Structure 1
Amino acid sequence: MNKVVAFFKRTVVDSFNVSMTLYKVMIPTIIVVKIFQEFGGVVWFSSLISPLMDAVGLPSEMGIVWATAMLINIYSSLVVLINLDVPMTVAQASILSSLILLAHSMPIETGLAKKSGISIWWTLLVRVGGAYLLGWILNQLYMATDALQQPANMVWQPSGTADPSLLNWALTQVQNLVLVFVIINVLIFTLNVLKVIGVEKLIGKALSPFLRLLGISKEATNLTLIGITLGLSYGGGLLINEAQKGHIAPRDIFTAITLLGLLHSLIEDTLLMLVIGADFNTIFWGRLLFALVLVGIISRAAKLLDGGSYEKYFYRSVAN
C-alpha cells in the first residue's frame, strides 16, 4: 500500500513540477502568438513558408507550429496548433508530428550536442533536414497509397467561439492550460507504469543489437538507450560527462548524439503526439526505422573519411 501511495504521490509531484516549468514558457508564448495573430503575422508567416509546407502536404499555417516547436518546445507548439484551429487528416497530423518529433527545442538541444563536441551546423542539418526529408517521404507514401485520409481525431480540441472576445480568449487559454496539466498527469502516470512493468528495458534490449550495427561502442550503447527512452537531456547529459572524461571515443559520441537527435524520448513524445490524432505506426515505427537507417548511412559514410577530416568538419574531442 505504501508503494502505491508513493507511486501516485511521485506522479502528482512530477506532473506539478513539469507543468510549472512549461507554464513559464507557454504563457508568454500564448500572449506573443495572440499578438502576432492579431496583427496578421500568422497569415504573413504562413504565406512565406507555404511552399515548404506544401511539399510535405501540410496546410501553410503548420509552418508556425513547427517553428514554435523548433524554437521553444513541443507543448508550446501544440498550444499554437490548438489556437489556429486548422482541421487535418490523420496523414497530415502524422507528418506534422514527425517534423516536430525530429526537430524541436533546438536552442537547448543543439547546445547539449555542442557540449559533447558535435558542431552546431551538423546538428541543425541532421535534425531539421532529416525531419523535412521524413515529412516529404511520408507525404509521397500517403499520396501514392491514399492512406490515412480520414479526419484526425484530436483529443485536445479548441474551445470557445469562432471569433471570441479578449475575455473569452483568455478564459479559453486558462482551460487549455488546465488541460495541459491533466495531459501531463496522464502522460507521467503512463510512463511510470511502463517503467514498473519493464517496457523501457524491453525497448532497450530490442534496440541494443541495432546500435552495435551502427558502430556505437558497448560503453556508449547503454547511455544512448537511456536517451532514446527517457530523453536527450538524460542520455545526452551522461554522454557529455563520459566524453569530457575521455571514456568514450569521439566518433562513438558523434554517432550516438546524432542518433539521439533524431530518436529520443521515444515513449513520452510518441504518447504526446497521439493527442493531436497522429498515426502510432508512423510516429513510432516510422520514426524508429528512419532514424536507424539514416544514422546507419551516416556512420558508414563517415568511415570513408580520414580521422582528421572527420573531426575537422563534424566533431571535436572535449576530453579534459
Structure 2
Amino acid sequence: MFGLDYNLGHSGLSLEGAPMTSILDYPRTIALRSLRMFLTIARIMVPVMVLVYIAQRLGLIAVVGDAIAPAMALLGLPPEAGIIWATTILTNIYGGLASMAALSDDLRMNVAQISALGAMMLFAHNVPTEQSVVRRAGASALFTGALRVTLGALYGAAVTWACDTWGWLREPVSLDWMRQDSALAGGTPDVWSWLWSSTQSLAMILVIIVFLVCFLDILERLGVTRLVTRLLTPLLRLSGLEERAAPLTTVGVLLGLAYGGALIIEATEREGYSARTRLLALSWLSLCHALIEDTLLILTLGADIWVILVIRTTVTLAVLAGLARLTLPGAPLARLLKL
C-alpha cells in the first residue's frame, strides 16, 4: 500500500534493480510526498486556527461556555464544566485544561465527574480544525462533528448516572496543582506567543508526517502492514472498513486525526477509497484518535482509565458497528449522506 516500489518520480524505473540515479530519487520522492501532504493539511488548519484564536481573544468561547453551563446539570456536572468543554471543543484539550486551571478555585469534582468530563473532552475537542480535515478527506464535517459532540454528551451523562446509581468513583479530586501551574493558568496567550506556539505545532506535524511516510513504507516492505491488517480483520469486519484502510486508520487512532487524515487524503487520491469507507474511517478517527497522548493528559486530572480508555474505546467500536450497518448500500442514512 505504502511501498515505493512503484515508479519513482518521472524516471519510469522501479526501486528494485534500479540504477543509482533512480535509487537517489527515493529521498526526493519521500520529501515531495510528505510536503504535499503537509501543505494539504496546513491549508486547512491555519485559517481555522486563526479564526478560533480571534474568537478566543474576543471572549466568544467563554460566552458559548456560559450558554451551555445549565445543560451540565443534566449531565451531573457542575456549571463550570460547560466553559471547560466549550473551550475544549472550539480549541483543543490544552485549551480545556487552561480553562479548568482558571476555574479551579471554585471547581469541586469527584473521580466520576472528572472521568465523565475527561471522556467528553476526548470525544469532542478541536472540532473546527479537525472536522475541516475530515471534510477535505472526503466525509461530512457536519455529521462527524455532530457525532462527536452528541456521543460525548451521552457518554458523560451515562458515566455520571451509573456512578451515582451504584456509588462508584465517589472520591473527591484535588485540582490544587493546576493553580500552581502558570503555564496552564495563564489563559489566552498573546499574539506572538500564539504565533510561535502555532508555528512549532505545524513544524512538528511536518516532522511526524515525514516520519510516518518513511515508517509506513518500511512496514509495507517488511510485510508488517499485511500482518497488522490480518490481526485487525475481526475489528474491520465489525466496523465495516475495507482492509486496505486499516493501517491508515490505526495511525490516526494512535497519533492523531491530522496525521491519519493526511494519509487518508493522500491514499484516496491514489487508490480511490469509496465514500462509505472514508466516512467509516474518518468517523472512527473523529471519535477515537491520539489514543496515547490525549489519554495521558486526561489521566493527570485524576480520571479513571477504565472510563476514559477501555469503555470509551469499546463504545466507539459499538457505534462504528452500528454506523456500518446504517450505511449499507440502499440504507436511508447512506442515501442521506450520498454514499
TM over 0.5: yes
Shift of 1:285: 0.3
- DSSP 3-state at the match of 1:267: helix
- Between 136-145 and 268-277, report the one with greater CA deviation: 136-145
Contact 2:65 2:83 in 1 (8 A): yes
Whether the 8 Å CA contact 1:156–1:276 is kept in 2: the answer is no
Greater Cα shift, 45-54 or 290-299: 45-54
Q: Residue 322 of structure 2 aligns with which residue? A: 297
Q: Report if the CA contact (8 A) 1:227-1:236 is conserved.
A: yes
Provide structure 2 residue ranges, at least 5 long, that are not aligned to the other structure: 1-48, 190-196, 198-203, 205-214, 216-224
Is 1:313–2:326 an aligned residue pair? no
Question: What is the distance in 2 between the residues matched to 1:145 and 1:297?
Answer: 28
* Corresponding residue number in structure 1 for 2:247: 222
**CA 1:255–1:84 in 2, change beyond 3 Å: closer, same or farther?**
same
Q: 1:315 to 1:102 in 2, by over 3 A?
A: farther
- CA shift, 1:208, in A, is 5.2
In 2, Cα distance between equivalents of 1:205 and 1:153: 44
Q: Cα distance, 1:121 vs. partner?
A: 2.0
Q: Check 1:68–1:258 CA distance in 2 against 1; reply closer, same or farther (3 A cut).
A: same
2:171 to 131, 137, 150: 150
Q: How many residues align?
A: 260
Q: Whole-Å Cα distance in 1 between the matches of residues 120 and 231 of structure 2?
A: 25
**Cα distance in 1 for residues equivalent to 2:318 and 2:185:** 43
Distance between the aligned counterparts of 1:45 and 1:100, measured in 2? 16
Equivalence for 2:138: 117
2:278 corresponds to 1:267: no
Shift of 1:274: 0.9
In structure 2, which of residues 134, 137, 155 is the aligned counterpart of residue 134 of structure 1? Answer: 155
Tell me: CA distance 1:257–1:59, structure 2 relative to 1, closer, same or farther (3 Å).
Answer: same
Residues 232 and 246 of structure 2 are in contact (CA less than 8 Å); yes or no, is this contact kept in structure 1? no
Following the alignment from structure 1 to structure 2, what is the Cα–Cα distance between the partners of residues 55 and 108?
28
Which TM-score applies when normalising by structure 2? 0.66
1:1-320 aligned at under 5 Å gives the runs 48-85=67-104, 86-154=107-175, 156-159=177-180, 173=186, 209-303=234-328, 305-306=329-330, 312-314=335-337
**Contact 1:119 1:315 survives alignment (8 Å):** no
Distance 2:169 2:184 in 1: 34
The 1:259–1:315 alpha-carbon spacing in structure 2 relative to 1, beyond 3 Å, is farther
When residues 288 and 203 of structure 1 are mapped into structure 2, their CA distance, relative to the original with a 3 A threshold, is farther
The percent of aligned pairs where both chains have the same amino acid is 32
| CA gap 1:203/1:100 in 2 versus in 1, 3 angstroms | farther
What letter matches 1:152 in structure 2?
V
Determine the structure 1 residue equivalent to 2:7.
none
Q: TM-score, normalised by structure 1?
A: 0.69
1:69-91 deviation per Cα after TM superposition (whole angstroms, max 9, x unaligned): 11111101100101101121111
Taking the aligned partners of 1:171 and 1:273, their CA distance within structure 2 comes to 14
